[in-house]
Amino acid sequence: MPDSPDAAARPEPITPPASATARPDQPEAHPPRGFVFWLSVAQLMSWGTLFYAFSLLLEHFERDLRLSRVDASLAFSLALLVEGLLAFAVGRLIDNGRGRLVMVAGSLLAALAFGSLAWVQSAWQLYAVWMVAGAAMAGCLYQPAFSILIRRYPEDYRRAIITLTFLGGLASTVFIPLVAWLIAGFGWRHATLVLALLHLVLGLPIHLYWLRGEPAAVPHAADAPPTRLIEHTRHFPFWGLAAFFVLFSGITTAMGAHLVSILRERQLPEAWVIAIPASIGALQVAGRLLLYFTEKHLDVHWANRWIPVLLPTALFVLALGLQSPWVAILYALLYGMANGMITIVKATAMATYVSRQQAASLNGLLGTPTAIARALAPSAIAALWTVSGNYILGLAILCAVGVLATVAFWMAQFRSQLRKA
């Protein structure tokens, strides 16, 4: 299943990015405030449309296209598969100084996908459109943005990444109510046309203007002697982190696709069905704010160890099957805080525990298995729903997978620190 200090504070007037006037072969020491803020705005819109809107469109696809829950969910799975398959190629383009091209192309593909979605009449058309959306995800979401920040600000990338995710974390808070309102007022087909327009009038200009003046291309880690990259894959820290990344990606993707349906199954009022997922975005930001203001005072390894525990705890609460708004609120609190902080843990863990110099290539190796996990997870949960008649079994399995992923991370962290001792 998904997510700048300017986002938490008052945005400043638009000023040209420092990167637009600085020498292209000299990365800035600190991110310009305007640059990070406007890149965050694009992330807010990209996550809100490409990721969170699907859960609100799912039941409309089922009804209007006469699809089962499994068949309709397959569209989102295909999008995630395409995104993952393109991840390594996108990383190489960014390392070669083509980050602006990647994100501009992502905006155009997103506009094309949502514009075409308004006209789909069959399952194969739905799948084709969401595969285009998957290519847009590869160019518009966190991974390319994180890679651009790491290249531009190698000495302060962790803080820049936390900053970038502030607005991105509000995507569900802003776009779940917005998309729900658009669907209710204009129908789902006209709503998708509005989403396409947003990418053309907001995302595209931001990426065109603020990503000018990229640093000169640097040698890609894959150009280093192959034994260097292979050597890292021979040790457990890489595989432990791989299990953590892949399994958690599957969990969050499945929850992003099915949360609205889960809450409706619990017979909560429609206002709660919209408010609970929307609140997760604000809670993600709260978690990232906590990291932002405490990172200089907390031991990073201690924080990384215990943050992942929150996610299976949240799933356990929801798996109890209680039909109470208070249970849903507790889930949102735990899941939102967890997901917000885990995004930062995942963005920096490979550099921290395996290799900072080759982190991009090592993360790229996980693109395909992560894509497969993200592609299969929503359909797997839909299949379990079809078999059992409710979401309890699927949530219980996701909780167990979350525990396994957390243990894998603990072991990777321990073995890495043991090797460095």
- Cα dihedral sign, 191-195-200-205: positive
Average pLDDT over residues 385-408: 95
* 5 located within any domain: no
* 367 located within any domain: yes
Domain boundary among 217, 244, 263: 217
Which pLDDT tens digit goes with each residue over 88-147?
888 778 877 888 999 999 999 999 999 999 999 999 999 999 999 999 999 999 988 988
What CATH number did the domain enclosing 280 receive?
Answer: 1.20.1250.20
Structure tokens at 161: 């990444």
What confidence score (pLDDT) does residue 402 get? 96
- pTM above threshold 0.85: no
Q: Are 196 and 295 contained in the same domain? A: no
Average pLDDT over residues 150-166: 79
Structure tokens at 269: 């009022």
- The total number of structural domains in the chain stands at 2
Q: Can you tell me the distance from the alpha carbon of 234 to that of 54, in angstroms, rounded to the nearest whole number?
A: 39
Q: How many CB atoms lie within 10 A of CB 226?
A: 9
The lowest-confidence range among 200-204, 294-298, 334-338 is 294-298
The lowest-confidence range among 23-32, 253-262, 296-305, 398-407 is 23-32
Which pLDDT tens digit goes with each residue over 5-46?
333 333 343 344 444 444 444 555 454 568 889 999 999 999
Q: Are 210 and 244 contained in the same domain? A: no
Q: Can you tell me the distance from the alpha carbon of 347 to that of 350, in angstroms, rounded to the nearest whole number?
A: 8
Q: Can you tell me the distance from the alpha carbon of 196 to that of 220, in angstroms, rounded to the nearest whole number?
A: 34
Specify whether the CB–CB gap between 275 and 264 falls below 8 A. Answer: no
Structural domain harbouring 332: 224-421
Q: Are 398 and 359 contained in the same domain? A: yes
